[in-house]
Amino acid sequence: MAKKGKISAISHKDEKKRPIRWRAYKQFFLIVCEDEATEPAYFAQFKAIFDIIANESLFLKFVGTGRDALGVVEQAMKERELFKTETNKEIDFVWAVFDKDDADENERTQNRFTTACQLAQTENIKIAYSNEVFELWLLLHLTNVSATSPIPRQTIYGILETAIKNSGTLYKNFVYEHGKPNIIAIISQIGNEKQAIEKATDLLKIQHDRHIIEANPSTKVHLLVKELRDWIKFYTPNQI
């Protein structure tokens, strides 16, 4: 069981070995991600926990898309409808996880990003965005990040690599490679989720009066993580 703000590395058997009994589940949770590797690997850890502790009460599904913000929201809508068609069940909680990336590059990308946010609100889809990238959320597990000026993604990657190298002898030769999900296991081992939530909360407070596209650095991934943690506490009230 996860303790002290870290995700437990709980293994689980392949779902295809046992038919899913949809009638048994009380809640259904859908997370649709922009990335196809790092973000799904991160949320897979939570699914592993729920598969054990929820006893067929909460079903968590995550999807990687490889699409931009608007594409992620649109895919979330499709996944929700597909799920309903296949299971005759309604998704209770839908989250779209995406980055600002190059949304400020030109008018078209800005419009697509703004439309994504508006569509998500209309469709009752919660947003867990990061400006600029999801790796900011991972970095907050290890160190403080200043909100005084924007931080380019390449800088985030560099700081993340350095922070991991400085964590101890085990990772002194670590080289960060973008898109490789092995970073998730490392953050789970050496990072502090509770502190990351506090730091992300502070960044949002500082950036609260700025448009999402301009609010660099900031992230709302911690809001999704807090919601997942609340459900873990609900199903394990005597273990957290």
What confidence tens digit (pLDDT) does each residue in 57-66 have? Answer: 999 999 999 9
Q: Identify the pLDDT of residue 239.
A: 66
Q: Over 50: is that where the pLDDT of 3 sits?
A: no
Encode pLDDT of 126-135 as tens digits: 999 999 999 9
Q: What pLDDT is stored for residue 12 in this prediction?
A: 37
The mean per-residue pLDDT over the stretch 163-182 comes to 94
In this predicted structure, the answer to whether residue 9 has a pLDDT above a threshold of 50 is no
Indicate whether 237 pLDDT > 90: no
pLDDT at 204: 95
The pLDDT assigned to 14 comes to: 39
CATH number for the domain formed by residue range(s) 27-235: 3.40.50
pLDDT tens digits, 173-198: 999 999 999 999 999 999 999 999 99
Tell me the pLDDT band of 21, cut-offs 50, 70 and 90: confident
The structure's pTM equals 0.90
For 121-161, the pLDDT digits (tens) are 999 999 999 999 999 999 999 999 999 999 999 999 999 99
The dihedrals phi and psi of 97, each to the nearest 5 degrees, come to -110, 115
Q: Is residue 10 predicted with pLDDT exceeding 60?
A: no
pLDDT band at 17 (very low <50, low <70, confident <90, very high): low
